[in-house]
Structure 1
Amino acid sequence: MFKIMSSLLNTACVMSVIAYFLTRTQFYSNILEKKKSRRQQALLVAVFGLFSLYGAFNAIPFYGGLVSLRPTGPILGGLIGGPWVGLGVGLIGGIDRFLQGGASVWSATLATVLAGLFAGLYAAWRKKDDLVSVTEAVSFTVFYEMFASGLTFLFLADFAKALAIEQGIRLPLIIGNAIAVATFIFITKNLIAERKNQETKKRIESELQVARNIQMSMVPKIFPAFPNIKELDIYAYLSPAKEVGGDLYDFFFIDDDHFCFLIGDVSGKGVPASLFMAVTKTLIRAKARPGIGSEELLFKTNSELCRGNEETMFVTMFCAILNIKTGEVTYSNGGHNPPYLHRADGSLNAIPCTPGVALGILDDFSYDQQELRLEPGDRLVIYTDGVTEAQAVNEEQFTTLRLEQAIQKCPSSGARTVVNEIVEAVETFSNGAEQFDDITILVLEYRGTADEA
């Protein structure tokens, strides 16, 4: 028995290796669907028929019979391909067994044929879309071996000889076939799970790409934004760390003379942040009207965001309104980084900002409004912390110092050039390191009225 067991286990291990490589072929991957064409069924019969023949390759003579893992092919063919495949593989294995002859030729031949047919009928009887489980496959194999044992007693007139055969081979056959069948089913189920995961991943990636396109369509992307407006030049850049992000920027005219521009950074990343970003941007536009101040605009938007905010999300925001005729800017800050004021004379300073509280945290919070005056050639540079906190491979951060240096490299250039210089500086500094936060930059340059020009 030890010799038989060793030989069968060795064959089972080799069959497991073959099973692994077989299941990784494109052919096998393509036929795992529930409904199979006749051509696919024929291919399965051929594949598992060869599997059955290999299982018989190292057959061991015993009491005038042959001990092998030949039934593994028909069982797998039936469980995976259904009754017709199982029967076809069983016939291949059965014919091979019949040609080998021996005392147990009739019982072994019939058992091999019926192994595939019964396995296929069981797979069809389940009426489930998924493949049989490893437990089911092992249970069926044990059941089959007990059935084959019964056929041995039925076909052999010599009970003592039949008993001697069964005592010597049946336990090794149960173990060997069970291991081979279980391994193949386990590998196949993993392959199916892997395919489903890949399909799910592709679907999610596709949906996220659509979400990204929708999100990016919500922020102005056409530049120059106002080619007929000579008083100002504006340019913005947004790069989400993931497929979608929570940063936002926007700009629009409230009336003929007052131009609103803002930037925001939603807590968190991904889809939840992008949805909160979309809501925030929509509210800002809905609340803006002629005569409104930046502090009132933030107050009203904050009140709406606080209402029903069960996820406790929030958004930092800097919001400003420019009078394009006078250069006067009123602005309010909701917990955002203070923007930089780059004067035409080359001086660069962060503008004074009352910190305020991020929107969505405290209802009825009153925001302060501050003022400054822009002269022709002055620029406001607004950004999110994804810029200053961008990391190199060694985890060193970009910092405000490098941001200031990038801004000062463009003393007399337009808004687009300044933004591009900052983006290039961040990319050069990061040098391929993973982007961990959304990066958003908005630059507004005041050019003054025609009289001032």
Structure 2
Amino acid sequence: MAFSGFGDLFFVLLQMICVIVVVAYLITRTASFTRVLDGLVTWKSQAILVLLFGALSIYGTESGITILGATANVRDLGPMVGGLACGPVVGLGAGLIGAAYRFSLAGFTAVPCAAATVLAGLFGGLIFLLSGKKFVGMHGAVLFAVGMETFHMGLTLLLCRPFDQALTVVGGVALPMIIANATGVFIFALIIGNLITERQTKAERDAYLSELERKKAELRIAHDIQMSFLPERLPEVPGLEVAALSLPAKEVGGDFYDAIPLSGQRTAFVIADVSGKGVPAALFMALSRTVLRANALVPRSAREAVGEANALIAADAKSGMFVTLFYAVVDPADRTLTYVNAGHNPPLLFRSGGDRPLELKGTGIILGVMPEADYREETLALESNDLVLFYTDGVTEAINAREEQFGERRLIETVMGCRDHPSEEIVDRVRRAVADFSGDEPQFDDQTLMVLRVV
């Protein structure tokens, strides 16, 4: 292709670059290229890449501009990128293809041009090896391209005669070729860098999703284990209807309830709320439940059972966690309820025919803070149609879209509206009332309920 000036030469070389952008994208998306990036080098993939980069080298020659028998071109681009990105085998192979084609065209610069093309692929491959068999990066690749084309020009001056003619050729093509080849390498480097980043991001995303799925599976197992700590079915207590429900805010939570058969047909009913949420709260819940159940089964008073449990929990509560607890022993023989409230939300006793419930307020501090804490117990007589509601703060502190809390007033109104219904229905009514109130707002705390209804 002839040219009338430097501007035409530069413009035609830039046209080559437009083609190179497309070629670079297509080559870097081939399975052979991505396998090399992953370090999975096979002879088949190397052969395919040799042919692709060799074809690019031939295109670089054919699309060049002839000046005094020499061609200003981007022939070295294919071997350079092949060597830099895929190693010496691909670089040298592509260089030999490009060099053979250039040598077949003859011309007084055929020897230095062919030699420079072979060396471009070889040197690029050596840089690949020195970089730990990785692409050297954009800056290194562009600097190599500039240096390689400068070396190409020097080789032409060294080997071509007459020298004056060689000097004229080099003076005409040196700057455009250096800029064009450096620009081509820059484009390849940019696309390869983006591809590497894209693949790293995908690998990190896949690893994150795999880890997330593993943790979800572990949490599901933890949830199943935690649910197994809750009574599979509540015991039948003469003269009582009992129902309970626990809804963790996460896969696992810190609330729990229990019903512990005691001697003399008595039953201990427990509701508790461990500080915090998630796995730490669930682990502390398991500890607290086990300790309390073990102490409840030893013949002793309610206050002694809670006091001993507190001492043991406080000794192990090195993480600063604590638990609020309501512990009530129901004796159906004399129809009494003896309770200890260790800093828990006061359960509500709805008396038959009463307008307002009685709050069963605290009789001691939360568990896990002071090993020597003292607790007192209170005893109440139960009458037919009395109803006792145990709950955790996740029920009353549930919020709606306006950030209003469900509150104790709504809880009382809900129970008063269905207090003559079976215990299971009362629990379900409260659950639905809280859910309707919260709407689409996420549950941020565990919600646990227990209802004892005297029949």
Task: State the TM-score bracket (shorter-chain normalisation).
Answer: 0.7 to 0.9
Q: Which residue of 1 aligns with 2:415?
A: 407
Match of 1:359 among 340, 364, 367: 367
Q: Which residue of 2 aligns with 1:225?
A: 234
Per the TM alignment, residue 278 of structure 1 is displaced from its structure 2 partner at its CA by: 1.7
Q: Which residue of 2 aligns with 1:316?
A: 324
| Stretch deviating more after TM superposition (196-205 or 135-144) | 135-144
Query: What are the Cα deviations for residues 342-388 of structure 1, in whole angstroms up to 9, with x where unaligned?
Result: 33446451423126322222221112212222223322211111111
The letter for the 1-side match of 2:140 is S
- Aligned-partner Cα distance in 2 for 1:5–1:372: 100
The letter for the 1-side match of 2:147 is M
What is the 5 A alignment of 1:28-107?
34=38, 36=40, 41=45, 45=49, 61=65, 64-67=71-74, 70=78, 74=82, 77-78=85-86, 83=87, 87=89, 106-107=114-115
Provide the identity percentage.
Answer: 25
Q: 1:223 to 1:121 in 2, by over 3 A?
A: same
Match of 1:249 among 257, 262, 272: 257
Q: Which residue of 1 aligns with 2:290?
A: 282
Per the TM alignment, residue 424 of structure 1 is displaced from its structure 2 partner at its CA by: 0.8
Query: What are the Cα deviations for residues 307-350 of structure 1, in whole angstroms up to 9, with x where unaligned?
Result: 25332111222221212333311111222111112334464514
- Aligned-partner Cα distance in 2 for 1:249–1:6: 79
Give the gaps of 5 or more residues in structure 2: 1-5, 161-165
Match of 1:269 among 269, 277, 283: 277
Q: Which residue of 2 aligns with 1:374?
A: 382
Q: 1:312 to 1:221 in 2, by over 3 A?
A: closer
Per the TM alignment, residue 193 of structure 1 is displaced from its structure 2 partner at its CA by: 3.7
Q: 1:171 to 1:33 in 2, by over 3 A?
A: closer
1:258 aligns with 2:266: yes
1:422 aligns with 2:430: yes
- Aligned-partner Cα distance in 2 for 1:327–1:32: 80
Q: 1:392 to 1:154 in 2, by over 3 A?
A: same
- Aligned-partner Cα distance in 1 for 2:253–2:407: 21
Tell me the matched-pair count: 430
Q: Which residue of 1 aligns with 2:3?
A: none
1:336 aligns with 2:344: yes
Per the TM alignment, residue 390 of structure 1 is displaced from its structure 2 partner at its CA by: 0.9
Q: 1:317 to 1:37 in 2, by over 3 A?
A: farther
Per the TM alignment, residue 58 of structure 1 is displaced from its structure 2 partner at its CA by: 12
- Contact between 1:264 and 1:316, CA under 8 Å: does it hold in 2? yes
- Aligned-partner Cα distance in 1 for 2:420–2:51: 73
SS in 2 for 1:357: coil
Query: What are the Cα deviations for residues 45-97 of structure 1, in whole angstroms up to 9, with x where unaligned?
Result: 599869969x979977586232386568636752xxxx5xx855885797579
- Contact between 1:145 and 1:174, CA under 8 Å: does it hold in 2? yes
- Contact between 1:45 and 1:77, CA under 8 Å: does it hold in 2? no
Q: Which residue of 2 aligns with 1:146?
A: 147
The letter for the 1-side match of 2:359 is I
- Contact between 1:52 and 1:89, CA under 8 Å: does it hold in 2? no
SS in 1 for 2:269: strand
The letter for the 1-side match of 2:340 is S
1:238 aligns with 2:239: no
Per the TM alignment, residue 185 of structure 1 is displaced from its structure 2 partner at its CA by: 2.5
- Contact between 1:141 and 1:174, CA under 8 Å: does it hold in 2? yes
Q: Which residue of 2 aligns with 1:129?
A: none
Per the TM alignment, residue 197 of structure 1 is displaced from its structure 2 partner at its CA by: 4.0
- Contact between 2:141 and 2:189, CA under 8 Å: does it hold in 1? no
Normalised by the length of structure 2, the TM-score is: 0.75
SS in 2 for 1:261: strand
- Contact between 2:72 and 2:176, CA under 8 Å: does it hold in 1? no
Per the TM alignment, residue 297 of structure 1 is displaced from its structure 2 partner at its CA by: 2.5
- Contact between 1:111 and 1:148, CA under 8 Å: does it hold in 2? no
Give the gaps of 5 or more residues in structure 1: 127-131, 448-453
The letter for the 2-side match of 1:402 is R
Q: CA RMSD in A?
A: 4.5
- Aligned-partner Cα distance in 2 for 1:317–1:445: 20
Normalised by the length of structure 1, the TM-score is: 0.75
What is the 5 A alignment of 1:7-46?
7=14, 34=38, 36=40, 41=45, 45=49
Per the TM alignment, residue 399 of structure 1 is displaced from its structure 2 partner at its CA by: 1.2
SS in 2 for 1:307: helix
